[in-house]
Homo-oligomer: A and B are copies of this chain.
Amino acid sequence: MSKQTKARIIDAAEALFAEQGYGQTSMREITSKANVNLASVNYHFGSKKNLIQAVLKRYFDVLMPQVDDMLETLIPSQGRKGVDQLLQGLALPLLHLNAVQPNGTEIFVQLLGKGYTESQGHLRKFILGNYGETIEGLLSMLRIALPAIPADELFWRLHFAIGSFVFSMASSQALKDIAKADYQQDIEIQDVIAHLVPFVAQGISAEGYAREL
């Protein structure tokens, strides 16, 4: 029953990776949580690096085609409205990742964040190599929406935006606890995205540029 073992390894690995990070998660933890033998990871995936990429691939292969579709059907608008459209258009495919796996959206974004902050060089290569065109498409749509903002300024804002999202996910357990205790709110990933969209849209569309300090 190879398929079962392989799937169980991926399921266990992604949960542990998302929670603890790649470097801090050992093969022993993974195989123990998956109830499979330690050696089976190397049999099925070859190495830990390959396992990490396989975990992400399952999500990217669902997400990216949907983003491509969205980009194709989107009628470009300029300014804040165009940015809003784009972000809303991204939100839906992201939420569809919940179909891959219960809690899939949250897991995926956490995996992304950990990949960024741990310097997993092989991950960047893997993502850009396999899904670079979609990312390029997103960027050019953003450039159309904000033609007055220089490319390098857009680069900065995009990363700040990603940071807002990824960090919120990375510390989502803390956020959930605080929100429940202080504001009597139960938070789901939809809520995070709903609050995030106006914040990011506003920040990205800002007309003032960097100023000397």
**Which residue numbers of A lie inside 8 Å of B, CB to CB?**
20-21, 23-24, 88, 91-92, 95, 113-114, 116-119, 124, 151-153, 155-157, 159-168, 170-171, 173-175, 178-179, 182-183, 185, 190-206, 208-213
Q: How far is the CA of A21 from the CA of B20 in the complex (A)?
A: 13
Which of B192, B197, B198, B204 contacts A199, CB < 8 Å? B204
Which of B124, B165, B179 contacts A163, CB < 8 Å? B165
| Cβ contact within 8 Å between B156 and A199 | yes
Which of B118, B163, B191 contacts A210, CB < 8 Å? B191
| Cβ contact within 8 Å between B155 and A159 | no
On whether A213 and B190 interact (CB within 8 A), knowing A119-B20, A152-B179, A163-B167, the answer reads yes
- List 24 A-B residue pairs with CB atoms under 8 Å apart, sorted by A's residue number: A21-B23, A21-B118, A23-B23, A113-B117, A116-B171, A117-B117, A152-B182, A152-B185, A156-B195, A156-B196, A157-B195, A160-B167, A160-B199, A163-B163, A163-B164, A163-B165, A164-B203, A193-B213, A198-B206, A198-B209, A198-B210, A201-B206, A202-B202, A203-B206
